Amino acid sequence: MRVSLELLWAEVDLSAIRHNVRALKAWVGPRVEVAAVVKANGYGHGAVPASQAALEAGASRLAVGWVAEGSALRQGGITAPILVMGYSLPEDAPAIVYYDLTPTVCSRDMALALSDACQVQGKEIPIHVKVDTGMGRFGLLPEEVVGFLKEVARLPGLRLEGLWTHFATADEGDKSYARRQFALYQEVLREVEAAGFAIPLRHAANSGAALDLPETHLDMVRCGIAIYGLYPSAEVSRPVSLRPALTLKGRVGHVRTLPAGFSISYGRTFTTSRPTRVALVPIGYGDGYHRLHSNRGAVLIRGRRAPILGRVCMDQCVVDVTDIPGVRDGDEVVIIGRQGDEVITAEEVAAWADTIHYEVVTGLTSRVLRVYRGAESTLPARPGA
Ligand SMILES: Cc1ncc(COP(=O)(O)O)c(C=O)c1O
């Protein structure tokens, strides 16, 4: 029998994702493509629905971290070009070719394996090469690029489509390092062009650079966090108006009054100093709600803030509703988002755990039901679960 009432769910407003993509497209202009970054289950929003919404609003491509994320999108019916931004291993080459993914290739072994797979499957695929201009994570060093392109150019089946880089500090107020990275990237582009290679798709900008460094837009921006309606950081300017797409909600239960001097939750880190009306909220670290929110965080009930008392457990936490009249079992609780005049942002939740809002949304586990609003197309019944 189907459970009729979910206690905890994330409401994802697909019209907000469409709005954000349109706003970003208007900002970067008609000559710049927008790739929607939908890795990590669409930053926790559901990769397939988020992809559909972004594509409906004019994103022309998608970007994921790994091959398995790309193949999952194909299995979910997505046909748009998908860039795999992370490394892949040679044994994945046949799957990359089979699923028409666009890999980022930075090693000879990978290039050879892809070329072999293309010949076996009778296909040609676009590839992107990444230059590490100072992120120190993945990519060729600037001086390695031309030599690598010459090797790749000899391999059948591979069509060089993109050469890209990634910024380490585009979300910071001080853009000097990002500008140095960009200058280095442009130098590499000049060398590559001088060596006779044409690069149809040059791209560097993530959300921070897309918003703050228009000179880095080139042929395409790769926007993740902004697609979901969140600004990359407080230091980035806000030339476009974004709408957060995700609201995390639930229903409280077991509302009761505890006497003064009663300790709450594991480790007894909180003891009531007065008769205290408490409610249980059905979220814990098993849902991706950080244990560091213990005694620090709050939720919204009846439009008011209810502080978390004691430790966050795996499935639930206890909140103080003494000062919120009339709270009853089954009342709606908003864990991230707006309720009445009050709002708890993903940024605020992140601050309680000394982390970033990226981690808050991507960290929501599969136990959290995703409910979609504002869909333009048919969606799977329980995506992301
Ligand atoms: C290579 C690359 N490009 C683009 C992005 C998107 O970044 P953001 O979510 O800040 O837009 C990411 C995300 O981490 C990334 O790893």
Query: How many residues are recorded in the chain?
Result: 385
Position 376 scores a pLDDT of 81
**Position in ligand 1 atom list of the atom nearest CA 225:** 9
Task: For residues 262-291, give the mean pLDDT.
Answer: 98
pLDDT grade for 377, boundaries at 50, 70 and 90: confident
Q: Find out whether the beta carbon of 38 lies less than 6 Å from any atom of ligand 1.
A: no
> Cα–Cα distance between 97 and 85 in angstroms, integer?
15
Beta bridge pairs of residue 62: 36, 82
Contact (CB, 8 A) for 226 and 236: no
Contact (CB, 8 A) for 291 and 285: yes
HSE, CB side, 13 Å, CA atoms: give it for residue 129: 30
> Cα–Cα distance between 251 and 360 in angstroms, integer?
20
> Cα–Cα distance between 240 and 231 in angstroms, integer?
10
> Cα–Cα distance between 36 and 101 in angstroms, integer?
15
Structure confidence by residue, pLDDT tens digits, 41-79: 999 999 999 999 999 999 999 999 999 999 999 999 999
H-run or E-run covering 153: helix 145-153
Token pair 């930053």 in the structure block, residue: 43
pLDDT grade for 384, boundaries at 50, 70 and 90: very low
> Cα–Cα distance between 242 and 228 in angstroms, integer?
8
CATH numbers and ranges of domains, the chain: 14-228 (3.20.20.10), 246-373 (2.40.37.10)
> Cα–Cα distance between 334 and 318 in angstroms, integer?
14
Q: Which among 117, 188, 196, 191 is positioned nearest to 157, based on CA atoms?
A: 117
Position 237 scores a pLDDT of 95
Share of the chain above pLDDT 90, in %: 96
Please say if the pLDDT value at position 270 is more than 60. Answer: yes
Torsion of CA 262, 265, 267, 273, to 10 degrees: -30
Considering the candidates 25, 39, 130, 175, report the single residue annotated as catalytic.
39
Task: For residues 179-192, give the mean pLDDT.
Answer: 98
Q: How far, in Å, is the centroid of ligand 1 from the Cα of 26? A: 20
pLDDT grade for 164, boundaries at 50, 70 and 90: very high
**Position in ligand 1 atom list of the atom nearest CA 210:** 11
Contact (CB, 8 A) for 149 and 182: no
Please say if the pLDDT value at position 296 is more than 60. Answer: yes
Angle (CA) 167-169-174 rounded to 5° is 130
Q: Both tokens of residue 30?
A: 């008609």
**Position in ligand 1 atom list of the atom nearest CA 86:** 1
Please say if the pLDDT value at position 380 is more than 60. Answer: no
Please say if the pLDDT value at position 383 is more than 70. Answer: no
In the residue annotation, 39 being an active-site residue is answered as yes
Contact (CB, 8 A) for 375 and 49: yes
In the residue annotation, 87 being an active-site residue is answered as no
> Cα–Cα distance between 298 and 304 in angstroms, integer?
10
Q: How many CB atoms lie within 10 A of CB 202?
A: 18
Structure confidence by residue, pLDDT tens digits, 303-334: 999 999 999 999 999 999 999 999 999 999 99
Of all protein residues, whose CA lies closest to atom 6 belonging to ligand 1?
Answer: 224
